[in-house]
Amino acid sequence: MGLWYPSLSPIPLVGYSDSDFAGCKLDRKSTSGTCHLLGSSLISWNSKKQACVALSTVEVEYIAIGSCCAQILRIKQQLEDFGLKIIKVPLLCDNTSAINLTNNHI
């Protein structure tokens, strides 16, 4: 068992983020989910109930994006320790308003 990476092709790192809004019926907290692929191999995933109650789907998705981004930074650092330098890492999210919020530099 192991992860297979072709030696001649570049190895892209991609992060995916998603969440549900107020999914828990008891405390109305949301659940975030993230996964990270290196090439075509899944190397990291996480599913966790958020610590706070969010007021909108944008806030829920933004919290999930932040968690996914933190994991991407950890993975990038570890890959640099192995001699692999990755410049750009796409982080994919399905909420347009959360994407617009992350692209706003103000």
Q: What is the mean pLDDT of residues 42-63?
A: 85
Burial of 96 (0-12, 13-18, 19+ CB in 10 A): exposed
b/e for 55-76, b at 16 or more Cβ within 10 A? eebbbbbbbbbebbbebbeebb
pTM exceeds 0.85, yes or no? no
Looking up tokens 């949301």 gives 30
CA–CA dist 106, 84 (Å, integer): 32
SS3 content of the chain, % helix, strand, coil (to 5): 30, 25, 45
| Domain ranges, ordered by start, for the chain | 13-103
Question: Which tens digit of pLDDT belongs to each residue from 73-105?
Answer: 999 999 999 888 888 999 998 878 877 877 776
Domain 13-103, CATH among 1.20.1260.10, 3.40.50.150, 1.10.287.310, 3.30.420.10: 3.30.420.10
